[in-house]
Amino acid sequence: MVIAYLRAFYKDDDKDVVRIGRVLTLQHGNGIGREMMEQSLDRIKGKMPCKKIGLDAQKYAVGFYERFGFKTVSDEYGDGEPDLTRMYVHYSRP
């Protein structure tokens, strides 16, 4: 049974930017989302060298992603629910 899911991919042909998409947890409040993000960021940094990692966060989740160093870089956008905000975290390549 899948209880959490996240995918990461290079943005277009730009190997400097990895995008995180389709973040999903079916069980909330038990640390699964935090653990998935920690492990995913470690794996991205180890296997997908890049200068920044980006995602589009739903408004209610912005604070969650800020705990991992993500910063908001856009106003909210979208045509209805959910409104999204673009966020990035920067780091230097090893």
Average pLDDT over residues 70-85: 78
- pLDDT above 70: residue 93: no
Q: What are phi and psi of 61, to 5 degrees?
A: -100, 0
pTM: 0.84
Q: What is the pLDDT of residues 7-45, one digit of tens each?
A: 999 988 788 899 998 888 888 889 999 999 999 999 998
Q: Residue 53's pLDDT band (boundaries 50, 70, 90)?
A: very high
**Number of compact structural domains in the chain:** 1
Is residue 90's pLDDT more than 60? Answer: yes
Name the burial class of residue 44, with classes exposed (0-12), middle (13-18) and buried (19+) by CB atoms within 10 angstroms of its CB.
middle
Contacts of 13 (CB under 8 A, 6+ apart): none
What span, in angstroms and rounded, lies between the C-alpha atoms of 24 and 63?
16
Tokens 């990895």 correspond to what residue? 18
- What range does the domain containing 84 cover? 4-90
- What's 19's domain CATH number? 3.40.630.30
